[in-house]
Structure formats: structure tokens, C-alpha cells
Amino acid sequence: MPPGGPACITCREKCRKCDRTKPVCQRCITKGLECKGYPDKFRFAGLATRGKWKNRAVPTVSRDHAVRTQPGTGTDDHPDTSHEESGSDQQHPSALPSCEDRNIERLPILDHAWPQSEGRAVELDDLLMLERTELLLAHFSPSPDAYPTRLDIIRSLADARRLCFSPELRAAVATLSDLKFERVNGCPREIFLIMGNVIEHAKAHATGKMETAEYERLLNACRYELYSWRLKPDRYPNDNPRWPAVAEAFRHACILHTSRLLDMAQPAEAPIIQNSVTAILDSLAEIPADCRLIELVVMPIFMAGADALSPYARHYLLLRFDHIRSHGGVSSEMSVSLLKSVWNARGRQAKHDSSNIPWVWFTRDSGSERQHDYLII
């Protein structure tokens, strides 16, 4: 019985059986080949299961190439390398089978060196510019909206207690990223950070860790930041003249949601609600149907739709969803279905009943847990 663990890199490249002996594969030695060692024990869990990545192996990077050792220290300059390697090197639960174990098409092995700067680990900004990073992101995140911190904020819009990532992590992502952040997410990074703070406060309040008075004070301060924020010309990701409209749509969508968190019961007819809805619609009107940026404003469209009252406003927002689908092939069926549920429920209200019907009500029914994951994506 060969030792456990993944096959060595050389055997994986040649798609043949490996005896998995450490520190080098004896099968490679007997054949006169150089054994390139074994892949990093810390592996991504899971495989993409759709599209061009279906049934493909995970690209791997050798630890020896990914992280360098500080001269004279004897320790790797990376948090993951603080763990001592076990002599037995038991197989990690997320380790993937080698090519001899499954009949799958392999992706290239990324065994060449990652760029380093004066012995320090590469910062996120440098990594994002590499083609091999694009390959990894495409493999594990088929959709740009699947970037973890953005998805975390989106999921927490329905229930702030679902927020998982820390403010420090969101700040690191926003700080270390270049203008690709806006090109991928649409939302300006300053707005992203403000909204993250809003959800953090909402989570603390919902879990009983913050008093209502302090919660209202902090949310009003965040709302003031949103009202006073303006996009600077040097923050445009490219020369597309529609970026200010995208930024304004996100800004007013976040103002709208913050207002709702402060008072979920106020009617949709309230001026503070309708002012935000109108501002979002005006911003969306600046983005033509054939403009690529229309794909980035799904969240503002949804937020405006949740409180849109007039038939023509609702019809216009549905047209915008159609533009997104026809331009980028992105389906918004879940968002549209959720909006129609809200609209239908408001249509059944008594004539003089102006009580609010929050869209989050329709994400908490039995069997709708998965709806959180696909909302606004």
C-alpha cells in the first residue's frame, strides 16, 4: 500500500501512477527522472462544476516557488509556512485525485516562480496583474461577482448576521487592489468600505452587541458619508464617460439600504425613500443599453426596484434587467422574481394601507435558503 497524499508533480505531469514516497518519488528515480516534489498541502477546496472548467483538475503551485525564505532566518516569510511539515504528511481532505485516479483533463502546472520583492511576499496588487492569477480566479470564481468580499456584502443585505469577513480584510482588498476593483465590481471602493461598515453595525445590533441609540448614531454618520461622497476624476477605471453614473447609482443604492436599516417599517412612499429611488433611476438613465457598464449595476437596479411604486418605473427597471441579459448573457431571474413578489404583495394591500413590505421577507420562507446565495448576482 503506497503512502497517502497526492501524487508528485512529475507523475501528475506525465499522468502516470506515483508511489507517493517522501521526500522524492522512487518511481521517478528508477526511471531516471527528476522528481519535482509534492504539491502544497494547503489546497483550495472544491472544483468548478460548470462551463469550460467542468471535470478539470486544479492548477497547483509549488510552495518552493510560491514563497521564498528570508536569508539567515530559516523561516518562510508567509503565514502558511509557520506550520511544521509532518513526517507522515497525511492527505488533506480537500486534496484532489491525480490523473491516474480520475479520467480528467488537466490544467497546466504552475511550477514557475512567482515574482518577489526584496525577500517579501508579493502584495495582492502584483498578484492580480499576473496571467496565472487570472487562470486561478477563472477556475475558482467563474463569475466576477463571486469574489468573496463582494459576495459577503451582497448576502448580508438580506440578513446582516450573515456577514462573515472582517473590516480589516475588506480594507486590505480595497487598498491593495488597483482600478480593477471598480472594473470588476462597479461599486467604488470607498462606497464599498462605507457599506461594509453599515452592515457591520447592523450585524452588531441584530446580535445584541450594540444598543439601538449607538446603532442609529453610527448609521446616520455612515449615511452622511454617503451623501457627501463624490467620485474623483482620477478614480475612473478607464476613459468610459459613464463611470460617474455607475458610481452615483451605487451611492444612492447604499443610501437607500442604510435608510431602510434605520427604519424598515417606513412606507415606500416616504420622501427619503423615493428620493433615493429617483436618484438611482436618473443615474441608470445615463447608461445606454449597449454600454458594457450596464452589467455592473444589478444591485442598484434591484434596490430601486424593491421600492419602486409606479408602473412605468417598474417597467423601466425590468427593461434594464433585459439589457443586462442581452448584453452579457447574465440571468437575473431570481432578482426579477423577488421584485415581482414584492410588487404583487403591495398590489394586494388595502387602498389606505401604506405599511412597508420589505423584500427580505421573501428570502426567509422555507426552502428559500439558497435564494440568499444567488440574490442580486
**Using one digit for the tens of pLDDT, what is the confidence trace for 203-224?**
999 999 999 999 999 999 999 9
Q: Which CATH architecture has domain 1-39?
A: Irregular (4.10)
Output the pLDDT for position 164.
Answer: 87
**Using one digit for the tens of pLDDT, what is the confidence trace for 306-350?**
999 999 999 999 999 999 888 766 667 888 999 999 999 999 999
Show contacts of 272-280: CB within 8 Å, 24+ apart.
273/307, 274/307, 274/309, 276/252, 276/304, 276/307, 277/304, 277/307, 277/308, 277/313, 279/248, 279/252, 279/255, 280/249, 280/252, 280/253, 280/256, 280/304
Instruction: Please report which residue ranges of the chain form alpha helices under DSSP H.
Output: 9-14, 26-30, 63-66, 124-128, 131-140, 148-158, 167-176, 180-185, 189-206, 212-228, 243-262, 271-284, 298-306, 311-328, 333-347, 371-374
How high does pLDDT run on average in the chain?
A: 74
Q: Between 365 and 215, whose confidence is greater?
A: 215
Q: Between 14 and 285, whose confidence is greater?
A: 285
**Using one digit for the tens of pLDDT, what is the confidence trace for 112-166?**
443 444 444 445 445 555 555 555 444 444 334 335 777 888 888 888 998 988 8
Output the pLDDT for position 1.
Answer: 41
pTM of the model: 0.61
Domain ranges for the chain: 1-39
